[in-house]
Amino acid sequence: MNRKNHPRGTRNSRREKKQHRFSRKLTFAALFAISFILICGSVYATYAMQHPPKEASNLEDDDYQQKEIALLEQIRESQKQAKLENTEQEKTDGNVQTLLYEPTVTNSIPQFQALKVALTALIDTAQKNSPKETPLKLVGYIKIIKANEQVIGYQPVVESYTWNQTNEEWTEQTEVSKDTAFVNQKTNQPLTLQDLFTSEANILAIQQVIQQKLLAESPDANTIIDNVLNMPSISLDQTAFTYYSDKISLGLPDNATGKKEITLSYKEIAGYVNPEYIDPDSIKDALPAPLDPNKKYISLTFDDGPNPETTPRLLNILKEKNVKATFFMLGQNVVKNEALVKRVADEGHEVASHSYSHPQLTGVDLQRVKDEVQKTDKAIYHAIGKLPTDFRPPYGAVNKDVATIIGKPIIQWSVDSQDWQSHNAQAIIKRIDETAYNDTIVLMHDIHPETVDAVATVIDRLRGEGYEILPSKELLGNKAKPLHMYYGSKDERPVQ
């Protein structure tokens, strides 16, 4: 039995040993796995401690910095490309970074110090008007503006770049100064009214435009008309102005209207502005085309009216013949016949001034001259809502002092019908037949019945000779000016 049992005991012992070895291996493997996990966890924890994940705010900071760098590069590159070479001055104060670009050469820029002061003021204003907690970039520089071939401008500019936290972008706003220095490139000196308007005569013409505009813009012109007519004249050397390529703002002298400044488009003053210094498009089509040199022109003018007996009959004839004329009216007759004056204007004729009571203006004192002119201006304005722009002095008598007070173009005549002398229709017709020539202004009087009797035949004969009949303003091209006398479009003389 012992022999038979021994092999079985041996087998059991071997099995136990194998099981023990397997348990040890399993235990070792488990311990190894646990150790490996612990080591890996420890390594990861150490790495995580040394490399924490980026928070959203850090990501935003990186985005801000990248966009800030890109913005500064863009600004500096833009300044490198500017027409005016400059140097950068940088200053940082809290959230505000200021980049000031000053021209490298300043002695060639007229009024540079004034421009620098204006630029500094613009920067200060931009900073005051910006949020205090938000990152802000202020870029100040002087920009060159080419107004036209003869004029360039130097204009202070400030660009404000504000960081928009919501959109994570820089938002831009540009402010430009009104204190722009414009320069006449011919002289390299500041642009002046002398450059723009050349003469006292043109300035007086512009004064007329200003008066009419002030009245047109007033809610009750009749209450300010005396103040407007008595407003001191602007001058070439004392008037402040702001230049634009298509308009101009003029400072007004102290006056009872309270108006300190007025802006005029060049189209409104096209006949009086030097076209070299403005945008040509701003006066395009503002003046009529020149008269055809191959045609004959003549103007019919009538003095001393209106007369309630003769002027309506004359208007009927002119309407029937489709002729427009110029009426140089006496103020004392205008105030008695306002409806008739309005009819003259409504039918397309020019209403002009011939003084109030027909004195010889060179024989009275200058205050009387002023009264004669202003009383007629008021009378005509009350009748038609417009001031007269042209003046014929009684007897043609005028000198420089009188012409300055009148302040309007002086329209004389080159053909005298002598109706005031003959009082005969046939004599009037014969006189005009014998003395009329191209580009002339005919003097007649609508207060004489014989003149009215002659007009239809005069018109027919002039047309038969090939004349086109125009009002005097149109004959003169809508650009006659004060201190000058006109006998026709080719006969202009300064008043001496």
- Regarding whether 300 and 247 lie in a shared domain, the answer is no
Task: Work out the number of other CB atoms within 10 angstroms of the CB of residue 405.
Answer: 17
- Regarding whether 197 and 263 lie in a shared domain, the answer is yes
pLDDT over 80 (residue 17): no
CA 174, chain centre distance (Å): 20
Considering the domain boundaries, does residue 37 fall inside one? no
**At 133, which CATH number?**
3.30.565.50
| pLDDT tens per residue across span 201-257 | 999 999 999 999 999 999 999 999 999 999 999 999 999 999 998 999 999 999 999
pLDDT over 50 (residue 186): yes
Task: Work out the number of other CB atoms within 10 angstroms of the CB of residue 426.
Answer: 12
Look at residues 187, 213, 240 and tell me which one is the last residue of a structural domain. 187
What is the DSSP secondary-structure string of 147-183? -SSSEEEEEEEEEEEEEETTTTEEEEEEEE-S--EEE
Look at residues 187, 219, 242 and tell me which one is the last residue of a structural domain. 187
Q: 56 by DSSP, 3-state: which?
A: helix
- Regarding whether 490 and 362 lie in a shared domain, the answer is yes
- Regarding whether 446 and 304 lie in a shared domain, the answer is yes
Total domains in the chain come to 3
Task: Work out the number of other CB atoms within 10 angstroms of the CB of residue 205.
Answer: 25
Catalytic residue among 303, 377, 390, 439: 303
Contact 87, 76 (CB under 8 A): no
| pLDDT tens per residue across span 355-364 | 999 999 999 9
Per-residue model confidence (pLDDT) at position 28: 56
CA distance 161 to 174: 9
**At 471, which CATH number?**
3.20.20.370
Per-residue model confidence (pLDDT) at position 185: 92
- Regarding whether 152 and 199 lie in a shared domain, the answer is no
CA distance 374 to 371: 5
The yes-or-no answer on residue 433 being catalytic is no
Q: 83 by DSSP, 3-state: which?
A: coil
Considering the domain boundaries, does residue 230 fall inside one? yes
| pLDDT tens per residue across span 243-296 | 998 999 999 999 999 899 999 999 999 999 999 999 999 999 998 999 999 999
The residue ranges of DSSP E strands in 104-150, in sequence order, are 136-146
Per-residue model confidence (pLDDT) at position 108: 80
Q: How confident is the model at residue 36 (pLDDT cuts 50, 70, 90)?
A: low
Q: How confident is the model at residue 14 (pLDDT cuts 50, 70, 90)?
A: low
What is the DSSP secondary-structure string of 211-259? HHHHHHH-TTHHHHHHHHHTSPPP-TTT--EEE-SSEEEEEPPS-TT--
Per-residue model confidence (pLDDT) at position 447: 98
Catalytic residue among 445, 446, 453, 484: 445
The yes-or-no answer on residue 254 being catalytic is no
Domain that holds residue 360: 296-494
Task: Work out the number of other CB atoms within 10 angstroms of the CB of residue 372.
Answer: 26
CA distance 127 to 139: 11
Considering the domain boundaries, does residue 210 fall inside one? yes
- Regarding whether 277 and 218 lie in a shared domain, the answer is yes
Task: Work out the number of other CB atoms within 10 angstroms of the CB of residue 348.
Answer: 13
Considering the domain boundaries, does residue 481 fall inside one? yes
- Regarding whether 197 and 183 lie in a shared domain, the answer is no
Look at residues 283, 308, 335 and tell me which one is the last residue of a structural domain. 283
